[in-house]
Chain A
Amino acid sequence: MSPPPPAPLLDVRHLEVRYGDLVGVADVSLAVGAGQVVALLGSNGAGKTTTLNAIAGLVRPSGGAILWRGEAIGGLPAYAIVGRGLALSPEGWRLFVGQTVEQNLRLGATALADRQRVPELLERVFAIFPRLAERRRQSAGTLSGGERQMLALGRALMSEPKLLMLDEPSLGLAPAVVETLYDTLWRLHGEGLTILLAEQSVPLALEIADHAYVLQTGRTVLDGPARALEDDPEVQRIYLGIRGEAAASR
């Protein structure tokens, strides 16, 4: 493994998460430097979601360490972690469909210490996604898939995160919508936002990421600069879930 960048913002070391007897994540290590976009790759069930949930405090790690700016945050309640500037936009968006777009966004600012900044942040999100401004009084349940993704992303941005974690943001979206989404992420990255991205679509993720980690059955098995991984046949093999011996016998 290549050495992590100096003084990473987020440093996950040998993370292990168990659900009872079941091991969700066996041994995941990763580092995210300030301003970086880091991609977590891997097939279904590789442990991407569990890793992000553990960092966000939604599940309790059973082993290893999660360091945020050098402070151990593993096992802290979710609200304490959001309060430190880590926001997760969960898989499937998990919007509050019975509430309006604006109420969803305001809920995103829950952890914000300074409530005075809410209107300003709202305007910022509406500037990024003018569509949401048009629909601000509409219930979130009436939005299209693309608009829902915008709302999920906008909601995560409402806590003014230092690190934005996205779990499968492109899942179930039309290709054109995915493209717009990634344009937005690229723009946010350009403004200095640090992003940790779990994604099934390897080409998409590698296009935007600086660095990527590949997970397989709950372990980090490969990592490197995105550019290098793009051409690595090993990535395709692992990602497709072909087992080592099967590939070797070919």
Chain B
Amino acid sequence: MRWGWLAIAVALLLYPWILTGPFYERMGADLLLAAIAAAAWNILGGYAGQISVGHAVFYGIGAYVPLLVYTHWQLPPVLGIPAGILVSLAVAAVIGVPTFRLQGHYFSMATIAVAELVRIVVGNWDFVGAAIGLMGPAVPRSLLDLSFKSAVPYYYIFLAVLAAILALTAHLERGRMGYYWRAIRAGERAARSLGVPVRRYKLWALLLSAGFTSLAGSLYALMVGFVDPESAFGILVSVEMIITAALGGVGTLLGPLLGAAILVPLKATTNSLFGGGGSGLTYILYGGIILLLARFEPGGLIELSRRIATRSLKKAKARAA
């Protein structure tokens, strides 16, 4: 397992040297960004088992605030990252109190409603650019603007952030927090009857998840330099996080990265093959993946590989006997 981690780390560190050129560089950065967002979602949706379909709210806030501080006060967008996280945490706390009274599908539906509400409000609010959206600095004024032509600097920033999230998740997974999250996911009522302060630990998961999702949104805005309501607050943003995590394996450490490593190149290929006219294809692709996962392997690819591994182990044992 340790060697596996090392191999992944080395591969990710060397990627920009192996696959060069703007297409692959951008794809690599997109891949890491998708992994960051999915890993952030995974804290609440995977470990604590609360399936939010409204994480676009935090992603959108994270994406908007940096460009907002640039547009209105000409500040470097980076300064908007902590501000975005603070706003996201506040919104998460406000959303969390009423929605956590709901369980299962009802919670998921409530999160959709909140996210769509926010998207519509943002789309009609002139201060945040209404339907047109916001632009970042077109030409970098200083290094602080973090505006690079090449995707490679973003790639390494994203890699560092991803490593930090995964390290924190791994730490929490082993501790008391991860322990309670799994209990809540397995049975909220049972966890409650044992004295797990369910609300408090769900709120912790939500806050951590929202904060990192916000960070992912900020990184997106920094790299792309432009946001509009659909690309930051659209329901597809939430769905992408879920599918990425679910394809790899919900509630697993590596699932989000694995899912991103499959989905992002797939999306880049279909986009370049079919161009703008193929954008509807993305939905079809996602729908198909949801169907296949729900029908055959709700545990995602990590669970699938685990199953294959145990099966071949059993076979090997049977042969030896």
Q: Are A108 and B194 in contact (CB under 8 A)?
A: yes
User: Is B205 an interface residue, CB under 8 A from the partner?
Assistant: no
Interface-side segment among B17-25, B143-151, B179-187, B309-317: B179-187
Q: Mark A211-230, 1 if CB is under 8 A from B, else 0.
A: 00000000000000000000
Q: Are A58 and B189 CB-contacts (below 8 A) given A99-B182, A107-B179?
A: yes
Interface residue count for A (Cβ, 8 Å)? Answer: 25
Is A96's CB under 8 angstroms from B195's CB? no
Interface set, chain B 266-286, CB cutoff 8 A to A: none
Contact across chains for A96 and B192 when beta carbons are under 8 A apart = no
Query: Which one of A27-35, A82-90, A175-183, A195-203 is at the interface?
Result: A82-90
Contact assessment for B186 and A96 in the assembled complex, using a CB-CB cutoff below 8 Å: yes
**Number of contact residues on B: which range applies?**
10 to 19
Closest to A93 in B: B190
Query: Which B residues from 169 to 220 make CB contacts under 8 A with A?
Result: 179-180, 182-183, 186-187, 189-199
Q: Please give the distance in Å from A239's CB to the nearest CB on chain B.
A: 26
A83 touches B182 (CB 8 A): no
Q: Are B193 and A56 touching (Cβ within 8 A)?
A: yes
Check if B186 sits within 8 Å of A90, measured CB to CB.
no
CB nearest neighbor in B for A158 = B194
Considering only residues 93-134 of chain A, those with a C-beta below 8 Å from chain B are 94-99, 103, 106-108, 110-111
- A107-B196, A110-B195 given; A97·B190 CB < 8 A: no
**Chain A min CB distance to B258 (Å):** 20
Known contacts A107-B179, A107-B183; is A95 also within 8 Å of B194 by CB?
no
Contacts of A159 in B (CB 8 A): 194-195
Q: In the complex the two chains form, is B182's CB within 8 Å of A94's CB?
A: no
Complex contact A94–B195 (CB within 8 A): no
Q: Is A79 among interface residues, defined by CB-CB distance under 8 A? A: yes
Which listed residue (A78, A83, A99, A103) contacts B193, Cβ 8 A? A78
On chain B, the residues within 8 Å of A148 by CB distance are none
Residues on the B chain within 8 Å of A97, using CB? 186
Q: Is the interface of B mostly helix, strand, loop or mixed?
A: helix
Q: Which residues of A contact B182 (CB under 8 A)?
A: 96, 98-99
Measured between C-beta atoms, what is the minimum distance from B129 to chain A in Å? 43
Shortest CB distance B102–A (Å):
15
A48 sits at the interface (CB 8 A):
no
CB distance from B146 to the nearest CB of A (A): 42
- Please give, as numbers and ranges, the residues of chain B lying within 8 Å of A88 by CB-CB distance: 193
Please tell me if A77 contacts chain B, counting CB pairs below 8 Å. yes
Which of B180, B190, B195: most chain A CB closer than 10 A?
Answer: B195
**Contact at B194–A107, with CB atoms within 8 Å?**
yes
Of all chain B residues, the one with the shortest Cβ separation from A156 is B194
A181 to B: closest C-beta gap in Å: 19
> With A and B bound together, what is the CA distance between A58 and B179 in angstroms?
21
Contact among A82, A98, A99 for B194, CB-based, below 8 A: A82
Report whether B195 and A78 are in contact in the complex, using a CB–CB cutoff of 8 Å: yes
Q: Which residues of B contact A103 (CB under 8 A)?
A: 179
Q: Is the CB of A96 within 8 A of B196?
A: no
Of the candidates B179, B187, B192, the one whose C-beta lies within 8 Å of that of A78 is B192
Check if A79 sits within 8 Å of B186, measured CB to CB. Answer: no
Complexed CA–CA distance, A189 and B183 (Å): 29
Q: With A and B bound together, what is the CA distance between A108 and B180 in angstroms?
A: 11
State how many angstroms separate the Cβ of A134 from the closest Cβ of chain B: 22
Known contacts A96-B182, A98-B182, A99-B182; is A90 also within 8 Å of B189 by CB?
A: yes
Tell me the residues in window 64-88 of chain A with beta carbons closer than 8 Å to chain B beta carbons: 77-79, 81-83, 88
User: Measured between C-beta atoms, what is the minimum distance from B12 to chain A in Å?
Assistant: 30
Task: Report chain B residues within 8 Å CB of A57.
Answer: 192
The chain B residue sitting closest to A112, CB to CB, is B195
- In the complex the two chains form, what is the Cα distance from A151 to B195 in whole Å? 17
Q: Is the CB of B197 within 8 A of A79?
A: yes
Interface residues of A in 160-184 (CB under 8 A from B): none
In the complex, are the beta carbons of B186 and A98 less than 8 A apart? Answer: yes
Nearest residue (CB) in B for A165 is B193
CA distance A53 to B182 in the complex (A): 22
Most buried by B among A58, A97, A107: A107
Inter-subunit contact A96/B187 (CB<8 Å): yes
- With a cutoff of 8 Å between Cβ atoms, the chain A residues found around residue B197 in the complex are 77, 79
3 nearest A-B pairs in the assembled complex, by CB-CB distance = A82-B195, A111-B195, A94-B190
Q: 6 A-B contacts, Cβ less than 8 Å apart?
A: A58-B192, A78-B195, A78-B198, A79-B192, A83-B195, A110-B195
Contact surface of B with A, Cβ cutoff 8 Å: 179-180, 182-183, 186-187, 189-199
Apart from the given pairs A56-B193, A78-B198, A94-B189, 11 other A-B contacts in the complex at a CB distance below 8 Å:
A78-B192, A78-B193, A79-B196, A83-B195, A88-B193, A94-B187, A96-B183, A96-B190, A107-B179, A110-B180, A159-B194
